[in-house]
Amino acid sequence: MTDTKQEADFLIHPENTFLYIWQLFMVALVLFSAISLPLYAVFAKDIPVLLIIIVFLFFCDIFINLRVAVKTKNGFCWETAEILKSYRKGFFIPDMIAALPWWLPVALLFKNEEPGIITRFLFLLPLIKILKIGHYLQVFEKSLTINPTIIRLIKFIVLVGIIAHWLASGWVLIGPVKEGLPADDFSKYIRALYWCITTIATVGYGDISPDLSQNHQIIYTMFSMILGVGIYGYVIGNVASLLANIDVAKANFMRRMEEINSFIKNKKIPLEIAQKILDYYNYLWETQQGGNDSQVMNELPQSLSIEVSMYLNKTIIQKVPFFTKMNEVFIREIIMQLEPLIFLPQDYIVRRGEFGDCMFFLSAGSVDVKGSNGELYATLGEGAFFGEMSLIRGEKRNAYIMAREYCDVYRLTKESFDELRRKYPDFDQQVIETVAERDAMNKKKTEKPAAPVKKQ
């Protein structure tokens, strides 16, 4: 995966930091142009200095584009010819149109005069660069972990803002002139923007409307209505679904809660049970954001899935004593075998006399170990494990284990357990030792059952 970079001849690697910054700057510059150029085209009394700077920076962009290596299937290509060919197929022509001072000849011809209608139109040519903004943004979208929905929301708002600004700028030129109103540039623009927003938002007070004897004003207004109202309606229609998607996990959880509510209401579940169900889901949301990520995990390729599992469960693994000594290969294997379960307060995790086919690791919460008469043998906390006794000796469970509060538990079945012990003899050894230790401890407890040991 190492790429040989040739930075001679000022060639730039496509993932170079300078290039990132330049592209970010270009995005800002294009947005600035989208706002300033229409204003110049409408209000400028002279060739604006900023316009010259913008055109110059767009010119620089062409040069930089010609120095960037091309990404191919087999890595990167540093040949100038290849770069030029790839650029010509891409944004070369719009880049050239944006970077050339088309207004220069006209301005030189009629110098000392206020720019005419054609010059003003030529001011707008660099706006073609706006076509490239999606191309620039792609780079950032890929490498950032920003919520894609928020990116789309911002795009929508910027889009509506720019279109409103353009329509307003056009209205300044084309719209009717009312007497008795302030005629400074700012007031004229504000009134045009006001007309535009009143129209786009379909409020339509009617205090500013085209002169009905001027067909070009009528046509411009119709065009604004069709474009503006269409985009506005589309954006409003989208915003609802976009906002709903900003936190998909929350939205899914809300939908599930609605189903649960409907279930409770239709089945007339009594309040006591209903409250337990709601508590359970609130616990699920607070600790696991609604759980049920198995779908996401299953979609990932195995190596990534293990990596994520290891990260998520590293706390439980670090807590269980005989896991900490095992090597990473073993940890990876055991993690894929663990099955997460949730127990409610007062739930029996293990019942005395049952035939056990699994052991448990307590990831969160605490449990009581009890005898058949309800006497408390011990209280186990996070990181404890239990149920392994019958698993090893093939006996029935010899105690009750009851959740004291909400417990996150991982279950390891006998099949997986036997498989792991067979595969990893050192793990087998450790299990045997721990069991012996535990036996000794239980023996002591059975002798003085009145004093339950709290082991947290």
Which 259-298 positions form the footprint of its own copies (CB under 8 A)?
Answer: 259-267, 269-271, 273-278, 280, 282, 289, 293, 295-296
Are 436 and 322 a contacting pair, CB within 8 Å?
no
Q: Is 237 one of the binding residues for its own copies (CB under 8 A)?
A: yes
CA nearest neighbour of 312 among 296, 326, 327 = 296
Residue from 21, 53, 96, 254 in contact with its own copies (CB under 8 A)? 254
CA distance 454 to 296: 39
Q: How many Cα neighbours within 13 Å face the side chain of 452?
A: 14
What string of DSSP letters covers 301-351? -HHHHHHHHHHHHHHHHHHSHHHHTS-HHHHHHHHHH-EEEEE-TT-EEE-
Shortest distance in whole angstroms from residue 331 CB to its own copies? 16
CB 10: neighbour CB atoms within 10 A?
A: 9
Q: What is the 8-class DSSP label of residue 206?
A: S
CA nearest neighbour of 166 among 292, 293, 39, 298 = 39
Q: Which is nearer to its own copies, 62 or 344 (CB)?
A: 344
Q: Which is nearer to its own copies, 116 or 381 (CB)?
A: 381
Residues numbered 115-144 forming contacts with its own copies, rule: CB under 8 A: 142-143
Task: Choose one: 99-107, 124-132, 242-250, 371-379; the region binding its own copies (CB under 8 A).
Answer: 242-250
Residue from 44, 50, 239, 376 in contact with its own copies (CB under 8 A)? 239
Residues numbered 310-369 forming contacts with its own copies, rule: CB under 8 A: 311-312, 341-345, 347-348
Shortest distance in whole angstroms from residue 407 CB to its own copies? 10
**What does the buried/exposed string (b/e) look like for 431-450 if buried means 16 or more CB atoms within 10 Å of the residue's CB?**
beeeeeeeeeebeebeeeee
CA distance 256 to 308: 25
Task: Choose one: 48-56, 245-253, 354-362, 430-438; the region binding its own copies (CB under 8 A).
Answer: 245-253
Q: Which is nearer to its own copies, 18 or 223 (CB)?
A: 223
239 Cβ contact partners less than 8 Å away, ≥ 6 residues apart: 153, 156
Residue from 72, 80, 147, 324 in contact with its own copies (CB under 8 A)? 147
Q: Is 410 one of the binding residues for its own copies (CB under 8 A)?
A: no
Residues numbered 17-76 forming contacts with its own copies, rule: CB under 8 A: none
Q: Is 371 one of the binding residues for its own copies (CB under 8 A)?
A: no
Residues numbered 65-94 forming contacts with its own copies, rule: CB under 8 A: none
One-letter identity of residue 245? N
Task: Choose one: 115-123, 127-135, 247-255, 416-424; the region binding its own copies (CB under 8 A).
Answer: 247-255
CA distance 62 to 126: 13
Q: Is 423 one of the binding residues for its own copies (CB under 8 A)?
A: no
Are 176 and 210 a contacting pair, CB within 8 Å?
yes
Q: Which is nearer to its own copies, 55 or 338 (CB)?
A: 338
Shortest distance in whole angstroms from residue 338 CB to its own copies? 16
Q: Which is nearer to its own copies, 162 or 225 (CB)?
A: 225
Q: Is 307 one of the binding residues for its own copies (CB under 8 A)?
A: yes
Q: Is 111 one of the binding residues for its own copies (CB under 8 A)?
A: no
Residue from 24, 162, 173, 225 in contact with its own copies (CB under 8 A)? 225
Q: Is 176 one of the binding residues for its own copies (CB under 8 A)?
A: no
Q: Is 158 one of the binding residues for its own copies (CB under 8 A)?
A: no
Shortest distance in whole angstroms from residue 73 CB to its own copies? 9
Task: Kindly state the tokens that stand for 192.
Answer: 């045009």
Shortest distance in whole angstroms from residue 91 CB to its own copies? 20
Shortest distance in whole angstroms from residue 93 CB to its own copies? 25
Paired strand residues for 340: 410
Label residue 346 exposed, middle or buried (CB < 10 Å: 0-12, 13-18, 19+).
exposed
CA nearest neighbour of 112 among 42, 46, 56 = 46
Residues binding its own copies: number (CB under 8 A): 102
CA distance 244 to 149: 9
Task: Kindly state the tokens that stand for 71.
Answer: 């990404």
Residue from 178, 444, 454, 455 in contact with its own copies (CB under 8 A)? 178
Shortest distance in whole angstroms from residue 122 CB to its own copies? 29
Q: Is 185 one of the binding residues for its own copies (CB under 8 A)?
A: no
Supply the angle between the helices 148-174 and 215-224 in degrees, to the nearest 10: 170
Residues numbered 188-217 forming contacts with its own copies, rule: CB under 8 A: 190-191, 193-194, 197-199, 201-210, 212-213, 215
384 Cβ contact partners less than 8 Å away, ≥ 6 residues apart: 361, 362, 367, 455
